[in-house]
Amino acid sequence: MNIRNPRTGKCDYEIVNLSVDQVQKSCASLRKEQQHWAKSEVTKRIEVLQQWKSTIEKYKPALIETLCIDTGRKSETLLEVDLVASSIDRWCIIAKALFQPAEQKNTTIPFIHLQQEWIAFKLVGVISPWNFPLLLSLIDSIPALLAGCAVIIKPSEVTPRFIKVIQQTIQEVPQLAKVFAYIEGNSAVGSAIVNNCDLICFTGSSATGKKVYEAASKRMIPIFLELGGKDPAIIMEGANIELATSSILWGSTVNAGQSCLSIERVYVQENIYDAFIQLIIAKAAALRLNAGDIDEGQIGPIIFAKQAHIINAHLKDAIEKGAIIKYGDKQCQEINGGFYCLPTILTNVNHQMKLMTEETFGPLIPIMKFKTKEEAITLANECIYGLGAAVFAKTDEEAIQIGSRIETGAISINDCALTAVMHEGEKNSFKLSGIGGSRMGPSAIKRFMRQKVYIIKTENINSPWWYKT
Protein backbone atom coordinates (compact mmCIF):
# COMPACT_ATOMS: atom_id res chain seq x y z
CA MET A 1 0.00 0.00 0.00
CA ASN A 2 1.62 3.26 -1.18
CA ILE A 3 1.56 6.28 1.16
CA ARG A 4 1.51 9.91 0.01
CA ASN A 5 3.91 12.54 1.36
CA PRO A 6 1.82 15.61 2.32
CA ARG A 7 4.59 18.09 1.40
CA THR A 8 5.51 16.66 -2.00
CA GLY A 9 2.37 14.82 -3.07
CA LYS A 10 4.53 11.82 -3.99
CA CYS A 11 4.01 8.28 -2.75
CA ASP A 12 7.36 7.62 -1.07
CA TYR A 13 6.46 5.04 1.59
CA GLU A 14 4.83 1.65 1.61
CA ILE A 15 3.05 -0.44 4.21
CA VAL A 16 1.91 -4.04 4.10
CA ASN A 17 -1.58 -4.78 5.30
CA LEU A 18 -1.68 -7.56 7.85
CA SER A 19 -3.95 -10.50 7.13
CA VAL A 20 -6.89 -11.30 9.38
CA ASP A 21 -4.98 -14.35 10.59
CA GLN A 22 -1.96 -12.21 11.54
CA VAL A 23 -4.18 -9.81 13.49
CA GLN A 24 -5.82 -12.74 15.28
CA LYS A 25 -2.43 -14.16 16.28
CA SER A 26 -1.22 -10.78 17.58
CA CYS A 27 -4.40 -10.33 19.59
CA ALA A 28 -4.21 -13.84 21.02
CA SER A 29 -0.63 -13.31 22.15
CA LEU A 30 -1.42 -9.98 23.81
CA ARG A 31 -4.49 -11.40 25.54
CA LYS A 32 -2.47 -14.32 26.91
CA GLU A 33 0.13 -12.02 28.45
CA GLN A 34 -2.45 -9.62 29.85
CA GLN A 35 -3.31 -11.83 32.80
CA HIS A 36 0.20 -11.39 34.23
CA TRP A 37 0.14 -7.65 33.53
CA ALA A 38 -3.22 -7.21 35.27
CA LYS A 39 -2.12 -9.20 38.34
CA SER A 40 0.93 -6.98 38.84
CA GLU A 41 0.66 -4.09 41.26
CA VAL A 42 -0.17 -0.71 39.78
CA THR A 43 3.19 0.53 41.07
CA LYS A 44 4.85 -2.06 38.82
CA ARG A 45 2.84 -0.93 35.79
CA ILE A 46 3.78 2.66 36.57
CA GLU A 47 7.44 1.66 36.74
CA VAL A 48 7.22 0.00 33.32
CA LEU A 49 5.48 3.03 31.78
CA GLN A 50 8.17 5.32 33.21
CA GLN A 51 10.84 3.10 31.63
CA TRP A 52 9.02 3.48 28.34
CA LYS A 53 8.91 7.24 28.75
CA SER A 54 12.71 7.25 29.04
CA THR A 55 12.93 5.18 25.86
CA ILE A 56 10.67 7.63 24.05
CA GLU A 57 13.04 10.43 25.08
CA LYS A 58 15.93 8.38 23.65
CA TYR A 59 14.14 8.02 20.31
CA LYS A 60 12.70 11.54 20.31
CA PRO A 61 14.73 12.78 17.28
CA ALA A 62 13.65 9.79 15.18
CA LEU A 63 10.03 10.19 16.27
CA ILE A 64 10.04 13.87 15.37
CA GLU A 65 11.64 13.15 11.99
CA THR A 66 9.07 10.52 10.98
CA LEU A 67 6.11 12.48 12.33
CA CYS A 68 7.25 15.55 10.40
CA ILE A 69 7.23 13.52 7.20
CA ASP A 70 3.85 12.00 8.06
CA THR A 71 2.19 15.36 8.74
CA GLY A 72 4.34 17.92 6.95
CA ARG A 73 4.45 20.24 9.97
CA LYS A 74 7.05 20.89 12.64
CA SER A 75 5.90 23.05 15.56
CA GLU A 76 2.81 20.92 16.29
CA THR A 77 4.95 17.78 16.07
CA LEU A 78 7.34 19.06 18.72
CA LEU A 79 4.38 19.85 20.96
CA GLU A 80 2.79 16.47 20.24
CA VAL A 81 5.85 14.49 21.33
CA ASP A 82 6.29 16.60 24.47
CA LEU A 83 2.61 16.18 25.38
CA VAL A 84 2.93 12.39 25.16
CA ALA A 85 5.81 12.39 27.64
CA SER A 86 3.95 14.65 30.07
CA SER A 87 0.76 12.60 29.70
CA ILE A 88 2.57 9.45 30.87
CA ASP A 89 3.55 11.27 34.07
CA ARG A 90 0.02 12.61 34.51
CA TRP A 91 -1.68 9.25 34.06
CA CYS A 92 0.80 7.55 36.39
CA ILE A 93 -0.03 10.04 39.16
CA ILE A 94 -3.78 9.53 38.65
CA ALA A 95 -3.42 5.73 38.58
CA LYS A 96 -1.39 5.64 41.79
CA ALA A 97 -4.09 7.58 43.62
CA LEU A 98 -6.91 5.58 42.04
CA PHE A 99 -5.76 2.07 42.87
CA GLN A 100 -5.88 2.14 46.65
CA PRO A 101 -6.52 -1.08 48.63
CA ALA A 102 -10.23 -1.81 48.75
CA GLU A 103 -11.87 -1.59 52.14
CA GLN A 104 -15.17 -3.05 53.24
CA LYS A 105 -17.99 -0.52 53.35
CA ASN A 106 -21.00 -0.45 55.64
CA THR A 107 -24.47 -0.64 54.13
CA THR A 108 -27.97 0.23 55.29
CA ILE A 109 -28.24 -3.36 56.54
CA PRO A 110 -25.98 -3.57 59.63
CA PHE A 111 -24.73 -7.09 58.99
CA ILE A 112 -24.03 -6.63 55.26
CA HIS A 113 -20.77 -5.11 54.09
CA LEU A 114 -19.54 -4.41 50.56
CA GLN A 115 -16.12 -4.75 49.03
CA GLN A 116 -15.44 -3.50 45.49
CA GLU A 117 -12.98 -4.89 42.96
CA TRP A 118 -11.97 -3.53 39.57
CA ILE A 119 -11.37 -6.01 36.74
CA ALA A 120 -9.51 -4.82 33.65
CA PHE A 121 -10.74 -5.67 30.17
CA LYS A 122 -8.27 -8.10 28.66
CA LEU A 123 -7.56 -6.53 25.26
CA VAL A 124 -8.31 -2.98 24.14
CA GLY A 125 -8.26 -2.16 20.43
CA VAL A 126 -7.42 1.43 19.46
CA ILE A 127 -8.09 2.81 15.97
CA SER A 128 -6.56 6.28 15.74
CA PRO A 129 -6.61 9.17 13.21
CA TRP A 130 -4.06 10.96 11.05
CA ASN A 131 -4.18 14.53 12.36
CA PHE A 132 -2.14 13.89 15.54
CA PRO A 133 -0.83 10.39 14.84
CA LEU A 134 1.20 9.80 17.99
CA LEU A 135 -0.81 11.70 20.58
CA LEU A 136 -4.22 10.38 19.55
CA SER A 137 -2.98 6.80 19.32
CA LEU A 138 -1.92 7.04 22.98
CA ILE A 139 -4.61 9.19 24.59
CA ASP A 140 -6.66 6.06 25.30
CA SER A 141 -3.82 3.51 25.28
CA ILE A 142 -1.82 4.83 28.25
CA PRO A 143 -4.75 4.84 30.75
CA ALA A 144 -5.81 1.41 29.43
CA LEU A 145 -2.33 -0.02 30.09
CA LEU A 146 -2.31 1.45 33.59
CA ALA A 147 -5.73 -0.09 34.20
CA GLY A 148 -4.17 -3.50 33.48
CA CYS A 149 -5.32 -4.05 29.89
CA ALA A 150 -3.30 -5.21 26.92
CA VAL A 151 -3.54 -2.79 23.98
CA ILE A 152 -3.24 -3.09 20.21
CA ILE A 153 -3.24 0.06 18.05
CA LYS A 154 -3.94 0.56 14.36
CA PRO A 155 -3.04 4.13 13.44
CA SER A 156 -4.35 5.72 10.27
CA GLU A 157 -2.79 4.43 7.07
CA VAL A 158 -2.44 8.10 6.01
CA THR A 159 0.36 8.70 8.55
CA PRO A 160 2.14 5.39 9.26
CA ARG A 161 5.84 6.29 9.15
CA PHE A 162 6.18 6.84 12.90
CA ILE A 163 4.90 3.33 13.71
CA LYS A 164 8.25 1.57 13.28
CA VAL A 165 9.98 4.04 15.60
CA ILE A 166 7.36 3.90 18.35
CA GLN A 167 7.25 0.10 18.10
CA GLN A 168 11.03 0.06 18.58
CA THR A 169 10.63 2.07 21.79
CA ILE A 170 8.15 -0.52 23.02
CA GLN A 171 10.43 -3.46 22.16
CA GLU A 172 13.15 -1.98 24.35
CA VAL A 173 10.87 -2.43 27.38
CA PRO A 174 10.23 -6.23 27.31
CA GLN A 175 7.49 -6.23 29.94
CA LEU A 176 5.57 -3.62 27.97
CA ALA A 177 6.14 -5.32 24.61
CA LYS A 178 4.28 -8.40 25.86
CA VAL A 179 1.03 -6.43 26.22
CA PHE A 180 1.34 -3.49 23.84
CA ALA A 181 1.67 -3.37 20.06
CA TYR A 182 1.22 -1.13 17.03
CA ILE A 183 0.24 -2.63 13.67
CA GLU A 184 0.01 -1.17 10.17
CA GLY A 185 -2.94 -1.52 7.89
CA ASN A 186 -6.05 -0.25 6.18
CA SER A 187 -9.72 -0.38 7.15
CA ALA A 188 -9.78 -4.17 6.78
CA VAL A 189 -7.13 -4.42 9.51
CA GLY A 190 -9.25 -2.08 11.63
CA SER A 191 -12.23 -4.39 11.16
CA ALA A 192 -10.11 -7.36 12.27
CA ILE A 193 -9.21 -5.47 15.45
CA VAL A 194 -12.88 -4.81 16.20
CA ASN A 195 -13.57 -8.54 15.75
CA ASN A 196 -10.73 -9.68 18.03
CA CYS A 197 -10.69 -7.24 20.96
CA ASP A 198 -12.79 -6.87 24.10
CA LEU A 199 -13.21 -3.09 24.01
CA ILE A 200 -12.74 -0.57 21.19
CA CYS A 201 -11.59 3.06 21.19
CA PHE A 202 -12.07 4.88 17.90
CA THR A 203 -11.14 8.45 17.02
CA GLY A 204 -12.16 9.76 13.62
CA SER A 205 -15.07 10.90 11.50
CA SER A 206 -18.68 10.43 12.56
CA ALA A 207 -19.42 8.45 9.39
CA THR A 208 -16.66 5.90 10.03
CA GLY A 209 -17.38 5.91 13.75
CA LYS A 210 -20.95 4.80 13.04
CA LYS A 211 -19.66 1.79 11.09
CA VAL A 212 -17.24 0.84 13.87
CA TYR A 213 -20.05 1.24 16.42
CA GLU A 214 -22.32 -1.08 14.44
CA ALA A 215 -19.57 -3.71 14.14
CA ALA A 216 -18.82 -3.56 17.88
CA SER A 217 -22.52 -3.76 18.76
CA LYS A 218 -22.83 -7.05 16.88
CA ARG A 219 -20.26 -8.50 19.27
CA MET A 220 -21.79 -6.78 22.31
CA ILE A 221 -18.49 -5.19 23.31
CA PRO A 222 -18.03 -1.71 24.79
CA ILE A 223 -16.91 1.09 22.50
CA PHE A 224 -15.74 4.65 23.04
CA LEU A 225 -16.07 7.05 20.12
CA GLU A 226 -14.42 10.47 19.79
CA LEU A 227 -15.84 11.82 16.54
CA GLY A 228 -16.32 15.02 14.58
CA GLY A 229 -16.71 18.55 15.84
CA LYS A 230 -17.91 21.92 14.65
CA ASP A 231 -16.98 23.98 17.69
CA PRO A 232 -18.51 27.44 17.98
CA ALA A 233 -17.01 30.52 19.63
CA ILE A 234 -19.27 33.26 21.01
CA ILE A 235 -17.80 36.72 21.59
CA MET A 236 -19.95 39.03 23.66
CA GLU A 237 -19.78 42.79 23.84
CA GLY A 238 -17.48 43.62 26.74
CA ALA A 239 -15.07 40.78 26.01
CA ASN A 240 -11.39 41.55 25.51
CA ILE A 241 -11.29 41.34 21.70
CA GLU A 242 -7.50 41.67 21.64
CA LEU A 243 -7.25 38.38 23.51
CA ALA A 244 -10.29 36.85 21.81
CA THR A 245 -8.95 37.40 18.29
CA SER A 246 -5.55 35.91 19.18
CA SER A 247 -7.18 32.91 20.83
CA ILE A 248 -9.64 32.24 18.01
CA LEU A 249 -6.95 32.61 15.35
CA TRP A 250 -4.91 29.91 17.09
CA GLY A 251 -7.95 27.75 17.86
CA SER A 252 -9.07 27.85 14.22
CA THR A 253 -5.76 27.42 12.42
CA VAL A 254 -3.39 25.38 14.62
CA ASN A 255 -2.38 22.25 12.68
CA ALA A 256 -3.99 24.00 9.69
CA GLY A 257 -7.37 23.54 11.37
CA GLN A 258 -7.03 19.75 11.28
CA SER A 259 -8.35 19.05 14.74
CA CYS A 260 -11.74 17.92 16.02
CA LEU A 261 -11.60 20.67 18.62
CA SER A 262 -10.86 23.47 16.13
CA ILE A 263 -13.07 26.55 16.27
CA GLU A 264 -15.07 26.27 13.04
CA ARG A 265 -17.83 28.81 13.69
CA VAL A 266 -17.43 32.30 15.16
CA TYR A 267 -20.38 34.39 16.41
CA VAL A 268 -19.64 38.03 17.33
CA GLN A 269 -22.07 40.50 18.91
CA GLU A 270 -22.92 43.24 16.42
CA ASN A 271 -21.54 46.22 18.39
CA ILE A 272 -17.99 44.81 18.29
CA TYR A 273 -18.27 42.92 14.98
CA ASP A 274 -16.43 45.40 12.75
CA ALA A 275 -13.59 45.92 15.21
CA PHE A 276 -13.26 42.16 15.67
CA ILE A 277 -13.08 41.55 11.91
CA GLN A 278 -10.45 44.23 11.41
CA LEU A 279 -8.27 42.93 14.23
CA ILE A 280 -8.38 39.22 13.33
CA ILE A 281 -7.59 40.00 9.67
CA ALA A 282 -4.48 41.93 10.73
CA LYS A 283 -3.34 39.01 12.89
CA ALA A 284 -4.12 36.37 10.24
CA ALA A 285 -2.05 38.30 7.70
CA ALA A 286 1.03 37.80 9.89
CA LEU A 287 0.82 33.99 9.59
CA ARG A 288 2.78 32.18 6.89
CA LEU A 289 2.62 28.82 5.12
CA ASN A 290 5.55 26.48 5.75
CA ALA A 291 5.58 25.29 2.10
CA GLY A 292 9.12 26.48 1.45
CA ASP A 293 10.69 25.37 4.72
CA ILE A 294 9.12 23.16 7.39
CA ASP A 295 10.93 25.20 10.06
CA GLU A 296 9.45 28.47 8.79
CA GLY A 297 5.82 29.53 8.90
CA GLN A 298 2.95 28.54 11.20
CA ILE A 299 0.58 26.80 8.77
CA GLY A 300 1.52 23.35 7.52
CA PRO A 301 0.00 21.37 4.65
CA ILE A 302 -3.33 19.63 4.51
CA ILE A 303 -2.17 16.17 5.54
CA PHE A 304 -4.78 14.09 3.72
CA ALA A 305 -5.36 15.03 0.07
CA LYS A 306 -9.05 14.12 0.36
CA GLN A 307 -9.41 16.78 3.05
CA ALA A 308 -8.17 19.51 0.69
CA HIS A 309 -11.03 18.65 -1.67
CA ILE A 310 -13.53 18.94 1.20
CA ILE A 311 -12.15 22.38 2.13
CA ASN A 312 -12.40 23.49 -1.50
CA ALA A 313 -15.99 22.23 -1.72
CA HIS A 314 -16.97 24.13 1.44
CA LEU A 315 -15.39 27.33 0.16
CA LYS A 316 -17.07 27.00 -3.25
CA ASP A 317 -20.45 26.34 -1.65
CA ALA A 318 -20.11 29.34 0.68
CA ILE A 319 -19.05 31.73 -2.06
CA GLU A 320 -21.90 30.61 -4.31
CA LYS A 321 -24.32 31.32 -1.45
CA GLY A 322 -23.00 34.83 -0.82
CA ALA A 323 -20.06 34.50 1.59
CA ILE A 324 -17.34 37.14 1.30
CA ILE A 325 -13.66 36.28 1.74
CA LYS A 326 -12.10 39.08 3.77
CA TYR A 327 -8.70 37.39 3.88
CA GLY A 328 -7.32 34.19 2.36
CA ASP A 329 -7.98 32.16 -0.78
CA LYS A 330 -10.95 30.74 -2.64
CA GLN A 331 -9.34 27.29 -2.55
CA CYS A 332 -6.33 25.37 -1.29
CA GLN A 333 -3.07 26.09 -3.09
CA GLU A 334 -1.00 23.28 -4.55
CA ILE A 335 2.66 24.11 -3.88
CA ASN A 336 5.41 21.67 -4.84
CA GLY A 337 2.85 18.85 -4.78
CA GLY A 338 1.45 19.63 -1.32
CA PHE A 339 -1.91 21.23 -0.56
CA TYR A 340 -1.88 24.38 1.58
CA CYS A 341 -4.62 26.67 2.80
CA LEU A 342 -4.11 30.18 4.13
CA PRO A 343 -6.07 31.23 7.21
CA THR A 344 -9.26 32.27 5.44
CA ILE A 345 -11.70 34.70 7.05
CA LEU A 346 -15.23 34.79 5.67
CA THR A 347 -18.18 37.06 6.45
CA ASN A 348 -21.79 37.19 5.26
CA VAL A 349 -22.12 33.53 6.21
CA ASN A 350 -25.22 31.64 7.32
CA HIS A 351 -26.37 28.17 8.33
CA GLN A 352 -27.35 27.21 4.81
CA MET A 353 -23.64 26.91 4.02
CA LYS A 354 -21.66 23.70 4.44
CA LEU A 355 -18.79 25.49 6.20
CA MET A 356 -21.25 26.44 8.99
CA THR A 357 -22.86 23.02 9.36
CA GLU A 358 -20.41 20.27 8.28
CA GLU A 359 -16.97 19.54 9.71
CA THR A 360 -14.43 21.34 7.50
CA PHE A 361 -11.14 20.35 9.13
CA GLY A 362 -9.24 23.27 7.67
CA PRO A 363 -8.06 26.79 8.66
CA LEU A 364 -11.30 28.56 7.75
CA ILE A 365 -12.78 31.21 10.05
CA PRO A 366 -16.41 31.99 9.14
CA ILE A 367 -17.69 34.90 11.24
CA MET A 368 -21.36 35.72 11.79
CA LYS A 369 -22.81 38.63 13.74
CA PHE A 370 -25.63 38.38 16.27
CA LYS A 371 -27.74 40.84 18.26
CA THR A 372 -28.74 39.13 21.48
CA LYS A 373 -27.36 36.48 23.81
CA GLU A 374 -30.38 34.30 23.05
CA GLU A 375 -29.65 34.45 19.33
CA ALA A 376 -26.00 33.46 19.91
CA ILE A 377 -26.99 30.44 21.99
CA THR A 378 -29.53 29.34 19.37
CA LEU A 379 -26.93 29.62 16.60
CA ALA A 380 -24.32 27.72 18.61
CA ASN A 381 -26.77 24.86 19.27
CA GLU A 382 -27.98 24.67 15.67
CA CYS A 383 -25.51 21.90 14.88
CA ILE A 384 -25.33 18.09 14.73
CA TYR A 385 -22.06 18.11 16.72
CA GLY A 386 -21.44 18.76 20.40
CA LEU A 387 -17.75 18.36 21.17
CA GLY A 388 -16.67 21.74 22.54
CA ALA A 389 -17.22 25.47 22.44
CA ALA A 390 -15.66 28.75 23.54
CA VAL A 391 -17.29 31.78 25.15
CA PHE A 392 -15.68 35.19 25.58
CA ALA A 393 -17.44 37.74 27.80
CA LYS A 394 -16.80 40.62 30.17
CA THR A 395 -17.00 38.37 33.23
CA ASP A 396 -16.46 34.68 33.89
CA GLU A 397 -19.95 34.52 35.37
CA GLU A 398 -21.56 35.78 32.16
CA ALA A 399 -19.50 33.41 30.03
CA ILE A 400 -20.37 30.41 32.23
CA GLN A 401 -24.07 31.33 32.18
CA ILE A 402 -23.98 31.26 28.38
CA GLY A 403 -21.85 28.13 28.30
CA SER A 404 -24.32 26.29 30.54
CA ARG A 405 -26.87 26.48 27.72
CA ILE A 406 -24.58 25.31 24.91
CA GLU A 407 -25.00 21.63 24.03
CA THR A 408 -21.38 20.50 24.10
CA GLY A 409 -19.19 18.53 26.45
CA ALA A 410 -16.47 21.12 27.08
CA ILE A 411 -16.74 24.91 27.28
CA SER A 412 -13.54 26.96 27.21
CA ILE A 413 -14.06 30.28 28.97
CA ASN A 414 -12.14 33.26 27.60
CA ASP A 415 -9.89 30.96 25.56
CA CYS A 416 -10.20 28.24 22.92
CA ALA A 417 -9.67 24.50 22.79
CA LEU A 418 -8.43 24.25 26.38
CA THR A 419 -9.03 20.48 26.39
CA ALA A 420 -5.92 20.24 24.20
CA VAL A 421 -3.74 21.28 27.14
CA MET A 422 -5.93 20.64 30.20
CA HIS A 423 -6.77 16.98 30.79
CA GLU A 424 -8.12 17.02 34.34
CA GLY A 425 -11.63 18.13 33.43
CA GLU A 426 -13.92 15.16 32.86
CA LYS A 427 -16.40 15.53 30.03
CA ASN A 428 -18.57 13.65 27.56
CA SER A 429 -19.29 14.28 23.91
CA PHE A 430 -22.79 15.44 22.94
CA LYS A 431 -24.82 14.66 19.81
CA LEU A 432 -22.79 13.12 16.92
CA SER A 433 -19.42 14.01 18.45
CA GLY A 434 -19.08 10.72 20.23
CA ILE A 435 -20.24 8.26 22.83
CA GLY A 436 -18.85 6.75 26.00
CA GLY A 437 -17.03 7.81 29.16
CA SER A 438 -14.64 10.70 29.65
CA ARG A 439 -11.11 10.60 28.26
CA MET A 440 -10.11 13.05 30.94
CA GLY A 441 -9.44 12.62 34.67
CA PRO A 442 -9.76 9.39 36.71
CA SER A 443 -12.75 8.26 34.64
CA ALA A 444 -10.42 7.80 31.70
CA ILE A 445 -8.78 4.87 33.52
CA LYS A 446 -12.00 3.49 35.01
CA ARG A 447 -13.45 3.13 31.49
CA PHE A 448 -11.18 0.15 30.95
CA MET A 449 -12.32 -1.78 34.00
CA ARG A 450 -15.51 -3.48 35.16
CA GLN A 451 -16.63 -3.39 38.75
CA LYS A 452 -17.15 -6.51 40.79
CA VAL A 453 -18.73 -6.39 44.22
CA TYR A 454 -18.46 -8.81 47.14
CA ILE A 455 -21.59 -8.61 49.27
CA ILE A 456 -20.53 -9.94 52.64
CA LYS A 457 -22.76 -11.16 55.41
CA THR A 458 -20.75 -10.46 58.56
CA GLU A 459 -22.94 -12.04 61.27
CA ASN A 460 -23.89 -15.66 61.87
CA ILE A 461 -27.64 -15.05 62.02
CA ASN A 462 -30.80 -15.88 60.11
CA SER A 463 -31.51 -13.26 57.47
CA PRO A 464 -34.95 -11.66 57.95
CA TRP A 465 -35.90 -12.27 54.29
CA TRP A 466 -35.47 -16.04 54.50
CA TYR A 467 -38.48 -18.37 54.70
CA LYS A 468 -39.90 -18.65 58.21
CA THR A 469 -39.58 -22.36 58.94
Confidence at residue 102, expressed as pLDDT on a 0 to 100 scale = 77
180 and 97 inside one domain: yes
| Alpha helix stretches (DSSP H) within 172-205 | 174-177, 187-194
What is the spatial distance between Cα 202 and Cα 78, in angstroms, rounded to a whole number? 24
Per residue in 369-414, pLDDT (tens digit) is 999 999 999 999 999 999 999 999 999 999 999 999 999 999 999 9
445 and 345 inside one domain: no
Q: Looking at the predicted structure, is the pLDDT value of residue 297 above 80? A: yes
Confidence at residue 127, expressed as pLDDT on a 0 to 100 scale = 98
125 and 19 inside one domain: yes
Asked if residue 464 is part of any domain, the answer here is no
Asked if residue 159 is part of any domain, the answer here is yes
73 and 151 inside one domain: yes
183 and 324 inside one domain: no
**Any idea what the CATH number is for the domain that residue 77 is in?**
3.40.605.10
296 and 153 inside one domain: no
Q: pLDDT exceeding 90 applies to what percent of the chain? A: 97
Asked if residue 115 is part of any domain, the answer here is yes
The pTM of the full predicted model, rounded to 2 decimals, is 0.96
Per residue in 162-188, pLDDT (tens digit) is 999 999 999 999 999 999 999 999 999
Asked if residue 100 is part of any domain, the answer here is yes
Q: Do 23 and 194 form a contact (C-beta atoms < 8 A)?
A: no
Q: Within its chain, how far is the Cα of 227 from the centroid?
A: 8
Asked if residue 469 is part of any domain, the answer here is no
- Residue range 236-242: average pLDDT? 98
**Any idea what the CATH number is for the domain that residue 263 is in?**
3.40.309.10
Asked if residue 93 is part of any domain, the answer here is yes
Q: Looking at the predicted structure, is the pLDDT value of residue 358 above 90? A: yes
217 and 243 inside one domain: no
DSSP letter at 302? -
263 and 352 inside one domain: yes
pLDDT band at 420 (very low <50, low <70, confident <90, very high): confident
Q: Do 135 and 155 form a contact (C-beta atoms < 8 A)?
A: no
245 and 194 inside one domain: no
142 and 8 inside one domain: yes
CA-nearest of 282, 339, 280 to 308 is: 339
Confidence at residue 469, expressed as pLDDT on a 0 to 100 scale = 80
What is the spatial distance between Cα 36 and Cα 179, in angstroms, rounded to a whole number? 9
- Residue range 302-323: average pLDDT? 98
- Helix, strand and coil percent figures for the chain, each rounded to 5: 40, 20, 40
135 and 170 inside one domain: yes
Domain that holds residue 342: 231-420
What is the spatial distance between Cα 233 and Cα 245, in angstroms, rounded to a whole number? 11
Confidence at residue 421, expressed as pLDDT on a 0 to 100 scale = 84
Asked if residue 22 is part of any domain, the answer here is yes
What is the spatial distance between Cα 378 and Cα 368, in angstroms, rounded to a whole number? 13
Confidence at residue 150, expressed as pLDDT on a 0 to 100 scale = 99
143 and 274 inside one domain: no
CA-nearest of 356, 358, 359 to 348 is: 356
- Residue range 20-29: average pLDDT? 98
Identify the helix (H) or strand (E) that includes residue 209. helix 206-219
What average pLDDT does the chain have?
97
Asked if residue 467 is part of any domain, the answer here is no
Per residue in 324-341, pLDDT (tens digit) is 999 999 999 999 999 999
Structural domain total, the chain: 2
Confidence at residue 393, expressed as pLDDT on a 0 to 100 scale = 98
Q: What is the DSSP string of 68-129?
A: HHHHS-SHHHHHHHHHHHHHHHHHHHHHHHH-PPP--EE-SSTTEEEEEEEEE-SEEEEE--
pLDDT band at 101 (very low <50, low <70, confident <90, very high): confident
What is the spatial distance between Cα 156 and Cα 159, in angstroms, rounded to a whole number? 6
Q: Give bridge partners of residue 118 from the DSSP assignment.
A: 451
pLDDT band at 424 (very low <50, low <70, confident <90, very high): confident
Q: Give bridge partners of residue 260 from the DSSP assignment.
A: none
